[in-house]
Amino acid sequence: MQPFEYYKPKDFDEAFRLLTLPDKAMYPLAGATDLIPHTRDGVWKPDGVVDVKGLPGLRDLTVEGLEPCCGCAPGECLYVGAAMRMNEIARSALVRSHWDMLAQAAAAMGNEQVRNRATVGGNLGTASPAADSAPALLVLETSVLVKGPEGDRSIPVEKFFAGPKRTTLKKGELIVGILIPKPPAGSAGVFEKLSRRKAGDLAVVSVAVMAYPHDGGYRWRVALGAVSPTPIRSPQAEAVLNEGYDAAHIDEAAAAAYGCSSPISDVRSSAEYRQMMVINVARRAIRAVVQQLQS
């Protein structure tokens, strides 16, 4: 593996200075579960890594003291610092209280060892089409909070991914955390993942489905992972479910999700198998949400 320098800045100014060193490939580093394998395999070639775990706010998990910046009442959004680890998220009583969708996705990631290191910021930063947190964050209407040398900004997660392994972050920018509005009482959500093994493997297909109470019915959100260049929503499947969620609508919505997908073949699956499995996994996830709504 090519050697690289390791830096651990104490504040954002120092981090931005390091991340924008001229003519150097500098990478933020969190849990290193993607960074080390990708560097070892020569996919990424860092001259240096900037450990972000000690930066202010990156290890916070809270609903307190947040600006009412995404349409929800003060104190009703969940803030998850970018350096929070998947096991911390999966096991958090706060996350599970109203944002269980995120806990489900975090628990489905990799294996125990990986979840003990892997962070949500790193999962977004890698921008894998199969990133497990992404479909969950898409249906949870999440904002990605970013700081950079030119200031702060908030990016809707739908606009965060630019392509396979590409984000819309600019040079020097860091994810500091994510902000998720509290789903109203009566909401239900399920994350389903199909992979080759039960643990320790990326998704062949993942589906997140949320139903939000709305106008006496439900407003649905459906997102897919591992079946297109970036994690995506399926507005067509959502539109079908907004009209009804009986067996016929569920089948139609699953077929609509299939229609949105454009997978590739890779070591995990052929494109054909992936696309067929969208129907099964989406149907299973929607049925599970309906079951929650009716219980």
Ligand X SMILES: Cc1cc2nc3c(=O)[nH]c(=O)nc-3n(C[C@H](O)[C@H](O)[C@H](O)COP(=O)(O)OP(=O)(O)OC[C@H]3O[C@@H](n4cnc5c(N)ncnc54)[C@H](O)[C@@H]3O)c2cc1C
The residue (of 30 and 227) whose beta carbon lies closer to ligand X is 30
Window 58 to 97, contacts with ligand X (CB under 6 A)? 82
Q: Select 122 or 181, whichever has its Cβ closest to ligand X.
A: 122
Of 207, 158, 157, 213, the closest CA to residue 183 belongs to: 213
Residue with smallest beta-carbon separation from ligand X: 122
Residues in 214-273 at the binding interface with ligand X, rule: CB under 6 A: none
Rounded Cα gap, residues 215 and 221, in angstroms: 15
Rounded to the nearest angstrom, the gap between the alpha carbon of residue 225 and the centroid of all alpha carbons in its chain is 9
- Output the six-digit token pair for 158: 């739908």
- Cα gap 259→265, rounded to integer Å: 17
Closest distance of CB 78 from ligand X, Å: 17
Size of the site for ligand X (CB under 6 A): 31
> Is 28 a residue that touches ligand X (CB under 6 A)?
yes
Pick the binder of ligand X from 118, 260, 282, 290 (CB under 6 A).
118
The reply on whether position 56 binds ligand X by CB under 6 A is no
Q: Which of 89, 95, 174, 256 binds ligand X (CB under 6 A)?
A: 174
Nearer to ligand X, 123 or 242 (CB): 123
- Residue at token pair 């459906």: 222
> Whole-number minimum distance, CB 226 to ligand X, in Å?
9
Given 4, 33, 78, 99, the residue binding ligand X (CB under 6 A): 33
47 or 251: CB nearest ligand X: 47
CB atoms within 10 A of CB 63: 18
List the one residue from 15, 18, 19, 52 that touches ligand X (CB under 6 A).
52
Cβ–Cβ under 8 Å, residues 241 and 222:
yes
Quote the CA–CA distance of 267 and 133 in Å, as a whole number.
21
Do 241 and 224 touch, CB atoms closer than 8 A? no
Q: Tell the smallest beta-carbon distance from residue 32 to ligand X (Å).
A: 5
Nearer to ligand X, 160 or 220 (CB): 160
Amino acid at the residue 155: I
Report long-range pairs for 43-48 (Cβ below 8 Å, ≥24 apart).
45/2, 46/2, 46/4, 47/4, 47/5, 47/21, 48/4, 48/5, 48/6, 48/7, 48/18, 48/21, 48/24
Closest C-alpha among 260, 235, 83, 69 to residue 155: 69
Chain length of the chain: 295
Q: Which stretch binds ligand X (CB under 6 A): 12-20, 125-133, 231-239, 244-252?
A: 125-133
Of the ranges 7-15, 17-25, 109-117, 285-293, which one interacts with ligand X (CB under 6 A)? 109-117
What letter does residue 282 receive in the DSSP assignment?
H
Q: In the complex, what is the shortest distance from the CB of residue 93 to ligand X, in angstroms, rounded to a whole number?
A: 22
- Interacting residues with ligand X (CB under 6 A): 27-35, 37, 52, 82, 109-110, 114, 117-119, 121-123, 125-126, 130-132, 174-175, 200-202
